[in-house]
Every structure is written in structure tokens, then in C-alpha cells.
């Protein structure tokens, strides 16, 4: 991400009469790795979906790359979304495709009708292999995705997000259904992408220990409001206790 970063101002989202996000504001600096933590129903998933405009807030500003996403035209929003990838808990990987085909699906949006007819090029496949290398799955490139484990599918989802070449990577509970070994692999991958590829990461987590171990900052969200937002090593046990009570 460039040095303009991301800024959220007075963001409010309501579902019917229920307020999910209540007038929240915070800034994200270049190359931050931010954990958003809190109980289920705190508004974590809604926040990430708002940042990518999958949910439309009723109030506030989302400033990304010096543009207010909320007031952008459809054409501008399409361009902005190219710089923001989102990874969901359920992987969003198609079992009937080969691993590399899943990784390359973001390329389809860039192809015209004639290109789509002829499919992926050799250059496309070579680039797909490079994205798989970043998540340690290049040897699974031509294996049907239905034969991959849950942890492997999550890494495919990350490689797919990388194929979009994002400045900002959003991850919604990407390790909540994984065992300890795969959780470590996925979190190590996110950390590597953050530090070596200079990708800013916002990740929703339930586990405060993972947040403290891997992330540079932690945002505590409770009942749609920010309880704290500070460097990971500055968050104390009392604040976590208050967050989860």
C-alpha cells in the first residue's frame, strides 16, 4: 500500500433498526498488520465487508488511496476493488477446478471475450505458479482442489487473493476452522506477505494470543464500538477481559 494508507471516519452500519457498527474511526498505516478481535456479533465481519463495499454503510467515510470509497462512482469503485482483496472463512475455492485455475480466476475480469475463449496463457500459468510458491503449494498446482485439505484450500484462497495484486488484504476469520498446525502455517503466510511483499493486512481473529504474536496492532471491537486500538505489545490482560466480558 502506498503511504496514503486507509482511514475510516465515523463509520456507521445498521441492519434494520439494529446498529452493527456505531460511529467508528481509525487509521491504518502503510504495511500495518492489524488484528480485529472481539466476540461473535461484535461487528468484525461487517467492518471488513464495509471496507470492500460488500456492505454499504449508512454514514461515514472510508478513505483509501486518497479516495472516499463511499462517494465513488461504479467505475471508480471497480478500480478501487482491484487493490483490495478479501479472504473468507469458507475459502471460496471451487472443488471442480485445478488448484492453479482457482488461483487464476481474478485474471478472468481482465480478459476480453476472445481471450476468454482461448483460456489462460502460458504466462498466466507461470504467474499462477509463482503465487502458489508464495504459499508453499506449487506442487499442488495441477491437482483438483477437491482433494486438498482445509488448510491447503485456505492457502489457495490467499494465492488467489495475491493474483489480484492487492495493496490491502482483508481476511475474515481465516483460521477459525483449522487445527493448530494449519493455523500456524496460515498465520506465517500472512506475516510473510506483510513483511516481504509490503501488503497491508487486516485480519479478524478470535484468538488474542495469535493477535499478539503476529500482528503489529490490535483493534478491540465490542458491540460495534472500538474499545481499544493500539500496538500489540501495549494491550493488557484487563483490556482483553473487558472486551470478552
Sheet with 18-28: list strands edge to edge. Answer: 18-28, 6-15, 59-64, 67-68
Closest CA to 26 of 72, 71, 60: 60
Strands 168-172 and 18-28 come out as unpaired
Domain assignment of residue 1, yes or no: no
Contact 24, 11 (CB under 8 A): yes
Question: Lowest-pLDDT range, 30-39, 51-60, 89-98, 200-209?
Answer: 89-98
Q: What is the CATH number of the domain that holds 185?
A: 3.40.50.300
pLDDT of residue 2 exceeding 50, the answer is no
pTM, two decimals, is 0.90
**Residue 236 confidence (pLDDT):** 95
More confident residue, 216 or 81: 216
Number of domains in the chain: 1
Query: Whole domain around residue 40: which residue ranges?
Result: 6-244
Give the tens place of pLDDT for each residue, 133-177. Answer: 999 999 999 999 999 999 999 999 999 999 999 999 999 999 988
pLDDT of residue 111 exceeding 80, the answer is no
**Residue 75 confidence (pLDDT):** 87
Which residues have C-beta within 8 Å of that of residue 26, sequence separation ≥ 6?
7, 8, 219, 226, 229
**Residue 90 confidence (pLDDT):** 82
- Rounded to whole angstroms, the Cα distance separating 81 from 22 reads 24
Domain assignment of residue 179, yes or no: yes
- In terms of average pLDDT, the best of 8-17, 107-116, 171-180 is 8-17
**Residue 108 confidence (pLDDT):** 77
pLDDT of residue 45 exceeding 50, the answer is yes
Amino acid at each position: 500500500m502506498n503511504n496514503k494508507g486507509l482511514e475510516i471516519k465515523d463509520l456507521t452500519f445498521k441492519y434494520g433498526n439494529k446498529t452493527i457498527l456505531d460511529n467508528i474511526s481509525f487509521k491504518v498505516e502503510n504495511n500495518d498488520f492489524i488484528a480485529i478481535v472481539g466476540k461473535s456479533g461484535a461487528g468484525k465481519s461487517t467492518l471488513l465487508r464495509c471496507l470492500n463495499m460488500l456492505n454499504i454503510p449508512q454514514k461515514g467515510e472510508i478513505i483509501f488511496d486518497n479516495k472516499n470509497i463511499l462517494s465513488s462512482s461504479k467505475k471508480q469503485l471497480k478500480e478501487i476493488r482491484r487493490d483490495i482483496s478479501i479472504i473468507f472463512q469458507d475459502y471460496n475455492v471451487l472443488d471442480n477446478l485445478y488448484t492453479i485455475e482457482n488461483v487464476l480466476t481474478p485474471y478472468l475480469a481482465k480478459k476480453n471475450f476472445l481471450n476468454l475463449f482461448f483460456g489462460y496463457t502460458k504466462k498466466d500459468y507461470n504467474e499462477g505458479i509463482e503465487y502458489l510458491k508464495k504459499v508453499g503449494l506449487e506442487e499442488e498446482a495441477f491437482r483438483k482442489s477437491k482433494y486438498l485439505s482445509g488448510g491447503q484450500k485456505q492457502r489457495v484462497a490467499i494465492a488467489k487473493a495475491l493474483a489480484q495484486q492487492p495493496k490491502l488484504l482483508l481476511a475474515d476469520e481465516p483460521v477459525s476452522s483449522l487445527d493448530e498446525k494449519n493455523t500456524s502455517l496460515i498465520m506465517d503466510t500472512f506475516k510473510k506477505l506483510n513483511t516481504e511483499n509490503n501488503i497491508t493486512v487486516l485480519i479478524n481473529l478470535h484468538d488474542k494470543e495469535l493477535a499478539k504474536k503476529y500482528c503489529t496492532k490490535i483493534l478491540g471491537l465490542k458491540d460495534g464500538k472500538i474499545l481499544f486500538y493500539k500496538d500489540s505489545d501495549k494491550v493488557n490482560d484487563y483490556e482483553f477481559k473487558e472486551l470478552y466480558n
